[in-house]
Amino acid sequence: MNQPIPGTASCCPVCLGASVRPFLHAGGRDYLRCEACEATFLHPAQRPAADVECAEYRLHRNDPGDPGYRRFLARLVDPLRARLAPAAQGLDYGCGPGPALAAMLREAGHPMRVWDPFFAPDPDALARRYDFVTCTEVVEHFHAPAAEFARLDGLLRPGGWLGITTCLQTEDARFAAWHYRRDPTHVVFYRAATFRAIAARFGWRCELPAKDVVLMHKPAPPVAAATAASSPPPNPDRESP
């Protein structure tokens, strides 16, 4: 029988806060809860190895031509496109072995690039900035969410959008039996409050337009402030007229 392992994590991997406590032992795994941002996460010592993750991802069958899967992705595509300019450029971050979302957005007229640590590890894709970035069923796999969200912030142009889908955690009493928890590659679980905390950290605006869909908007700097910032400083040695 699996026993809970001793000790706990020193900080929350999502908000980096120190208010972390043991939450639950379920399915032979130990889960912790951040009292600041309400994230629930697997004990760091029990995260799956990269080869285990990759093998699990290869089992996914995400066919761009499957009508059911397209309806699933449309939960994000539709509200996101309503906020995008025509031909806005995007990145599908964590696209997996079958980048169906990128295909749908290309069909809608948006130039797309894809990136995935296992299936599309293109460094050039991470050297650019985009009008929008999508993360469909990705953020629950993050081993270092704080660093990942910082990277996503850097990939977004000012005024850009980050689109996320993930199953939000609700009642604690249902967590042990929750199908989402039982996926061996899911290591962090979010609530609406968690995403609001992430948005506050980066100065984003957080919207939840549909069930398990999160949109983050990175504000553009005010025009006046941007103009002032680009102007040269006054020369104190110059005489006034």
What tens digit of pLDDT does each residue of 23-80 get?
Answer: 999 999 999 999 999 999 999 999 999 999 999 998 877 777 888 889 999 999 999 9
Would you say residue 240 has pLDDT above 50?
no
CA distance 145 to 183: 18
Q: What percent of the chain has pLDDT over 90?
A: 80
**Res 13: pLDDT:** 98
Higher pLDDT, 57 or 205: 205
Q: What are the extents of the domains in the chain?
A: 50-166+195-222
d(CA 111, CA 132): 11
- Is the pLDDT at 238 greater than 80? The verdict is no
Closest CA to 159 of 78, 79, 85: 85
* The predicted structure's pLDDT at residue 8: 57
In this model, does residue 3 exceed pLDDT 70?
no
Residue 173 contacts by C-beta under 8 Å, 6 or more apart in sequence?
A: none
Confidence of residue 237 (pLDDT cuts 50, 70, 90): very low
| Mean pLDDT rounded to a whole number for the chain | 90
Question: Global pTM?
Answer: 0.88
Helix/strand/coil for 84: coil
Specify the CATH number of the domain 50-166+195-222. Answer: 3.40.50.150
Question: What pLDDT does 232 receive?
Answer: 54
pLDDT digits (tens, 9 = 90+) for 8-32: 568 999 999 999 999 999 999 999 9
DSSP 128: S
CA–CA separation, 139 vs 141, rounded Å?
5
